Amino acid sequence: GRKWTKVEQLTPELSGQEVLVRGRLYTVRGKGKSAFLMIRQRTATVQAVMFADDVKVSKGMVKYACGIPKESIVDVGGILTCPEAKIESATQKDVELQVTSIRVVSRAAALPFELVDAARSDAEIAAAAEKGEVLASVSQDVRLDNRALDLRTPANQAIFKLQSAVCQLFREAMLSQDFQEIHTPKLIAGASEGGAAVFRFDYMGRPGCLAQSPQLYKQMAICADFDRVFEIGPVFRAENSYTHRHLCEFTGLDFEMAIYEHYFEVLDVIEHLFMHMFNGLATKYAAELEAVQSQYPFEPIAAKPVRLTFAEGIKLLQDDGLTDVDPLGDLNTELERRLGKIVKDKYGTDFYILHRYPMAIRPFYTMPCPDDPAYSNSFDVFIRGEEIISGAQRVHDPELLTTRAVACGIPVDTIQAYIDSFKLGASPHGGCGVGMERVVMLYCGLNNIRKTSMFPRDPKRLEP
């Protein structure tokens, strides 16, 4: 059999050896009797050179290579050598492949855009502009329309590695704190978060909803004695808002746990979880972070957890000159970001928790504060001034739950089984939902959630 070598394994130790590589033709440049090819495997690249010497390589072969369309999959065989000068444009800088054979395995059609254009940073474009040069850039919609090409850039490869890492680190932190992974249904009878933002469909002749969260079912798992549960799964929101941070389908990292005294027990778990996540990303994924940074520069986050009450948050905004902020109203994106800046200046952190929210702006299942029912045992968590989590202690008394559902205009018959679960005895409990794409977006200081969703779904996009 033939011996396949990975591009990332092409180092000077293999110098003089014959190797065979399968990769994409990233770039190709012909020059007289020679051709210079850049072969790419995921993010690793190596230069391959061909010289027509009429012994092993003919002129026709060089011409053939120069005609292979970019992004085609090719098998390239040859001898690995160490060139005198480093190949700065390759990731494998110290080696070069002297090609003896090349074969097209899968030919790429005309590209909708050049991959090198999609991999360019704004800074590079601006620097070129200063010298009077115009470098191409690719719009977000064109990228998303051709996502199978767009995802091949180094920054995108890194973003989805980080996404996988966030889920892995979430799972690790949950398992290490005695949580059990569960899978709840996504085809359900009633809206889990209430409101209009629900996708409805025909379920064998009766109305069904796509789950807006695992909320009701993770709570029922608590009623069923699974003391601590978590789930990584899809969340559907028919939210007709076209913004930088809303998707119609995203991945929810949810957990729910029995609590003994106070909803701060949930906050303790969250802080432990995120310190594990931030630490893991910074220490084990430095190369990916650098790859994202080189196209989309960002400051690493300062991640020292800080807890403030909602009222304290409002006070900070008022003290900052926003005297007409409603102390019982919700924070819009602009106010959230403003508060993020204030908290950063005052406490030196990009990661903080606001808790004790006004009851009126929280979902029906949220536990009111025992000392003042105008407030609730609930919280949101922020990175760089934008919400990544919301959560709370839940109402576990079925009568109060019914009253709250009715008050919020929720048809009780659609969630009756959920309410009934609490009639058989239910522990006090709380939990939260984390927006996975938002975590990656905000950790990396990216400006749009579509960058951290592999195939984003928004009000205008159902394809690809």
The residue count for binding ligand 4AD (CB under 6 A) is 23
> From the CB of 241, what's the least distance to ligand 4AD, in Å?
8
How many other CB atoms are there within 10 angstroms of residue 241's CB atom? 11
What is the C-alpha to C-alpha distance for residues 190 and 79, in angstroms, rounded to an integer? 64
User: Which one of 24, 152, 245, 338 is the catalytic residue?
Assistant: 245
Nearest to 233 by CA among 202, 195, 192: 192
Q: Which residue's CB atom is positioned nearest to ligand 4AD?
A: 435
Tokens of 26: 């990233």
Name the one residue in this structure whose structure tokens are 């929210």. 357
The site string for ligand 4AD over 156-195 (x = CB under 6 A, - otherwise) reads -------------------------------------x--
Please confirm, yes or no, whether 124 is among the known catalytic residues.
no
What is the C-alpha to C-alpha distance for residues 395 and 416, in angstroms, rounded to an integer? 15
Check: CB of residue 378 under 8 Å from CB of residue 390: yes
Please confirm, yes or no, whether 394 is among the known catalytic residues.
no
Please confirm, yes or no, whether 387 is among the known catalytic residues.
yes
Nearest to 235 by CA among 199, 268, 205: 199
> From the CB of 387, what's the least distance to ligand 4AD, in Å?
5
The smaller minimum CB distance to ligand 4AD, of residues 61 and 408, is found at 408
Beta-carbon-side half-sphere exposure of residue 216 (alpha carbons within 13 Å): 25
Angle, alpha carbons 385-351-369 (nearest 5°): 85
Please confirm, yes or no, whether 192 is among the known catalytic residues.
no
Check: CB of residue 261 under 8 Å from CB of residue 158: no
The smaller minimum CB distance to ligand 4AD, of residues 68 and 354, is found at 354
What is the C-alpha to C-alpha distance for residues 47 and 92, in angstroms, rounded to an integer? 8
The smaller minimum CB distance to ligand 4AD, of residues 45 and 452, is found at 452
> From the CB of 176, what's the least distance to ligand 4AD, in Å?
20
In the set 5, 92, 390, 393, which binds ligand 4AD (CB under 6 A)? 390
The smaller minimum CB distance to ligand 4AD, of residues 120 and 245, is found at 245
SS3 315: helix
User: Which one of 378, 390, 421, 453 is the catalytic residue?
Assistant: 390
User: Which one of 24, 152, 228, 237 is the catalytic residue?
Assistant: 237
> From the CB of 183, what's the least distance to ligand 4AD, in Å?
16
> Is 408 exposed, middle or buried, given 0-12, 13-18 or 19+ CB atoms closer than 10 A?
middle
Distance of CA 419 to the CA centre of its chain: 34
Please confirm, yes or no, whether 181 is among the known catalytic residues.
no
The site string for ligand 4AD over 227-266 (x = CB under 6 A, - otherwise) reads ----------x-x------xx--x-x-x------------
Parallel/antiparallel/unpaired status of strands 18-31 and 34-41: antiparallel
The site string for ligand 4AD over 403-442 (x = CB under 6 A, - otherwise) reads ----------------------------xxx-x-xx----
Under the binding rule (CB under 6 A), the answer on residue 213 touching ligand 4AD is yes
> From the CB of 212, what's the least distance to ligand 4AD, in Å?
7
Tokens of 112: 């909708």
> Is 237 exposed, middle or buried, given 0-12, 13-18 or 19+ CB atoms closer than 10 A?
buried
Torsion angle in degrees (nearest 10) through CA of 263, 266, 270, 273: 160
> From the CB of 395, what's the least distance to ligand 4AD, in Å?
12
Please confirm, yes or no, whether 96 is among the known catalytic residues.
no
Distance of CA 223 to the CA centre of its chain: 31
User: Which one of 246, 276, 307, 457 is the catalytic residue?
Assistant: 246
Please confirm, yes or no, whether 249 is among the known catalytic residues.
no
The smaller minimum CB distance to ligand 4AD, of residues 330 and 387, is found at 387
SS3 401: helix
> From the CB of 441, what's the least distance to ligand 4AD, in Å?
9
| Residues with catalytic function | 237, 239, 245-246, 387, 390, 438
Residues that bind ligand 4AD (CB under 6 A): 193, 213, 215, 237, 239, 246-247, 250, 252, 254, 387-392, 431-433, 435, 437-438, 449
